[in-house]
Amino acid sequence: MYTGTEGLRTLIADIMIATASLFIRIGETRAAVELTEQFKSDSTVIRMPGAALQFADNFIPSGYLSEAFDLIREMIDARSEELREVAQLVMMSLFMHRGPGELSGADYEEMVARLERRASIELEEGRADAAGRTLYSLGEKYRGSGDWEKALSFFDAALTHDPTYSNRGYFWRARGSVHYELKDYDAAANDYREAVRCRDATESAFLLSDVLLRAGRYSEALSVPVRSGATDFYALGERINRRVLATIIEVTGLSEQERNPLGAGHIAEIHGAATSEEIVAALRETDALDPRLWFLLGESENEMEDAQRSEIWLVAADLERDNPHLWAIAASMSILFASENMANDVCDSGLKWCDDEFLNLIEEVRQLFPDDASSAISTKVYERADRDHPRPTRTVRMVHEDGTYAAFEFSR
């Protein structure tokens, strides 16, 4: 094995790779990376599945993503099923820790190309279930890069070749998000309903309610059950959605609507002289999800209860979720005039969507109120800001040969 000049070079390389393995054991990952980069091309040891997996599992958490990918790039579409499985584990680890989008552009493109060849090989071998997993991985990668049409085509292909995806909520949740981005809200709603049925994607109820709202199907959206007692990241969205939907239906009298958004010129006309009745008529006749109209309604001088006005400001904020000014107004109004539960949820939503910008705007908005009210707003908001809030999670599924899978969640 180690004969001649080539054999001597291979022997030295294998010794250096063994030394790199020792560096890993004592926590010197950088030194291990440097040795591996220098000697991997001549080493036979590093091409062994177990060694490649061991090195990659240590490189990735330390941020050496491209170096980890180098170890398995030729295994992705290898003829050996064992090598392909090692590559799959490493790619899942890459996705789990940082996401494939953190690889260099060239590495990312090569990963995708090799995965496409891998799917072809698995279909040639008659392993449709394995091809389904590979096609699903491709769908996720194109979803991550925003190529929605390609993502959808690979998700559809995955379901065709591996029908067990029909019982996996994460599949329907992922495909639903692609339909959502393509503005096919009916298809997105159908997928999210399937995700709710499967009960393994906690965000599905919120997403279903949200997409039905965007589709103008207000009563149907309100009928989506809220998970009783849920405290995860998406439970807050479920509760807020219910409040927003109830207010939209109560104010406009609509159960559904073909949305027809107003142009900026029409908004300017309404802003100039419209009464609250005319604003509500515009919501009913054009687009009940126009945050500009809800803003005008919140500012209108009609005689409405302060509690109802706080609900209107919440609708405006939730329809333009990245607007910290709207969240600051909605939070202030809910603290002063709504229930404690609503005040807590609105403050938490402002923090969730806008974070520090929300806190900065609270300081401005509360100055518009008398001293006692201003103090109450500040106390409540910073009390909520000091709490530990649920974080969204990255969920990685390891699919086994028998079609079962394990899910691992990591806080972002």
Q: Which of 26, 22, 113, 20 shows the shortest CA–CA distance to 67?
A: 20
Q: What is the pLDDT of residues 171-216, one digit of tens each?
A: 999 999 999 999 999 999 999 999 999 987 688 889 999 999 999 9
Which residues touch 316 (CB under 8 Å, ≥6 apart)? 291, 294, 295, 297, 298, 326, 329, 330
305, containing H or E segment:
none
- According to the model, what pLDDT value does residue 352 have? 93
Give me the mean pLDDT over the 129-152 stretch: 90
Q: How far apart are CA 217 and CA 219, in angstroms?
A: 6
Q: Any idea which residue has 């493109």 for tokens?
A: 109
> pTM for the full model?
0.76
Q: Which of 361, 388, 353 shows the shortest CA–CA distance to 377?
A: 361
- According to the model, what pLDDT value does residue 412 have? 43
For residue 46, which amino acid is it?
A: I
Write out the two tokens for 403: 């079609």
Mean pLDDT lowest among 33-47, 93-107, 130-144, 231-245:
93-107
Confidence check: pLDDT of 378 > 60: yes
First-to-last alpha carbon distance for the chain, in angstroms, is 47
Q: With the C-alpha atoms ordered 237, 240, 244, 250, is the resulting torsion angle positive or negative? A: positive
Q: Is 56 exposed, middle or buried (0-12, 13-18, 19+ CB in 10 A)?
A: buried
- According to the model, what pLDDT value does residue 296 have? 93
Q: Rounded to a whole number, what is the largest CA-CA distance in the chain? A: 95
The pLDDT confidence band at residue 274, using thresholds 50, 70 and 90, is confident
The pLDDT confidence band at residue 53, using thresholds 50, 70 and 90, is confident
The answer to whether 155 touches 139, Cβ cutoff 8 Å, is yes
SS3 state of residue 44: coil
- According to the model, what pLDDT value does residue 411 have? 45
The pLDDT confidence band at residue 395, using thresholds 50, 70 and 90, is low
Q: What is the pLDDT of residues 295-318, one digit of tens each?
A: 999 998 777 899 999 999 999 999
Q: How far apart are CA 408 and CA 218, in angstroms?
A: 34
Give me the mean pLDDT over the 49-57 stretch: 83
